[in-house]
Structure 1
């Protein structure tokens, strides 16, 4: 999924919420699913990594992912795994 497609899906979820066609919980689920799909479908040098605390970051390597998780969560030695 490219950025434009992700933004369109998020816009659709917000429009449904504004129109009363969905509730906030469903809108949040749709947005979260869109962002997760976007984050796990990178092409090229970037990939999504999930830390043991649940944080998901985008990085070029496992080492870079650990560093980003450390910066975001103050974790001392996070464990990360690449998402497929």
Structure 2
């Protein structure tokens, strides 16, 4: 789904809400579905969605990045999760969480 399609779908959901054709809960579900679809179906080949797991502070967080290493950095930035000090990995020891591609 491209950005324009996503925006149109969100706009349609809001219009239905404003017209009284949908309640808040249904509108939230619809908008969330649009966002999840948009976030996991990038047409640009250089970006992918990654889901973090492991530490409670990052569990289920989805970020968009060019690589798993960049995804780990983005998760760390968003959650203020620090790599372990004794790391020998060039990107830091991310033992507190992992990132996996969203399919």
Q: What interval of TM-score do these two structures reach, taking the shorter chain for normalisation?
A: over 0.9
Instruction: Give the aligned length.
Output: 84
Verify: 1:47 aligned to 2:48, yes or no: yes
Q: Quote the residue 2:38 is aligned against.
A: 38
Verify: 1:62 aligned to 2:68, yes or no: yes
Unaligned runs of 5+ in 1: none
- Give the TM-score normalised by the residue count of structure 1: 0.95
- The structure richer in helix per residue is 1
Q: 1:75 Cα shift?
A: 2.5
Structure 1 distance, partners of 2:27, 2:81, is: 31
Secondary structure of the 1:79 match is: strand
Any runs of at least 4 consecutive aligned residues in structure 1 with deviations exceeding 6 A, and if so which?
A: none
- What per-residue deviation string (whole Å, max 9, x for no partner) do you get for residues 25-45 of structure 1? 110000000010001011311
Specify the structure having the higher radius of gyration (Cα).
2
Structure 2 distance, partners of 1:75, 1:20, is: 42
Verify: 1:82 aligned to 2:101, yes or no: yes
